[in-house]
Amino acid sequence: MGRLLDKVKIFEFSKVCDPRGNLSFIEEGCHVPFSIKRVFYIYDVPGGETRGGHAHRENSTVLIAVSGSFDLHLSDGEDEIVVRMNRANKGVLIPPGVWDSMHDFTTGTVCLALCDHHYEEEDYIRDLDEYNEFLKSLRN
């Protein structure tokens, strides 16, 4: 098994600059490598709060800070990377099996998430012991 963190991808979406304001666009299968089944967004995050804190068994997500900024921590149980999400045309692909958490939100941040699966609570791993068991099962 290769390193799960190597499957994380950072995208820079096109930005159409205009005196009237900038525009970026995302088409499924083109700018994100999957069909988009679900979109959700996180906003009005109180100062000091953390979001995420889980991995998925099957679901992949692309996160975008469409406004504001936050730190995205990604871990595969061994290594951790931190990506500062601070540009509206930057997307990070979180593949299945990668643990994510979101910290240090600035006021007014809006985080958009594009997913390749519908919402299913059974797809979440929210417990670290369960996560370690899941990682072990991947190695066997």
For the four alpha carbons of 77, 86, 62 and 7, in that order, the dihedral sign comes to negative
Question: In 3D, which of 7, 13, 11 has the Cα closest to residue 26?
Answer: 13
54 has catalytic annotation: yes
CB 14 within 8 A of CB 5: no
Is residue 125 at the binding interface for ligand TYD, with CB under 6 A as the rule? no
- By beta-carbon proximity to ligand TYD, the closer residue of 25 and 119 is 119
Nearest approach, Cβ of 78 to ligand TYD (angstroms)? 22
Q: What are phi and psi of 129, to 5 degrees?
A: -65, -45
Stretch that binds ligand TYD, among 13-21, 47-55, 91-99, 127-135 (CB under 6 A): 47-55
Residue 109 burial class via C-beta count within 10 angstroms: exposed 0-12, middle 13-18, buried 19 and up: buried
Among 4, 8, 32, 42, binds ligand TYD (CB under 6 A): 42
For residue 103, state whether it binds ligand TYD (rule: CB under 6 A).
Answer: no
Residue 52 binding ligand TYD, by CB under 6 A = yes
What does the block give as tokens for 71?
């730190």
Q: Smallest gap, in angstroms, from Cβ of residue 18 to ligand TYD?
A: 32
Please pick, among 54, 73, 103, 118, the residue that the annotation labels catalytic: 54
Tell me which residues are annotated as active site: 54
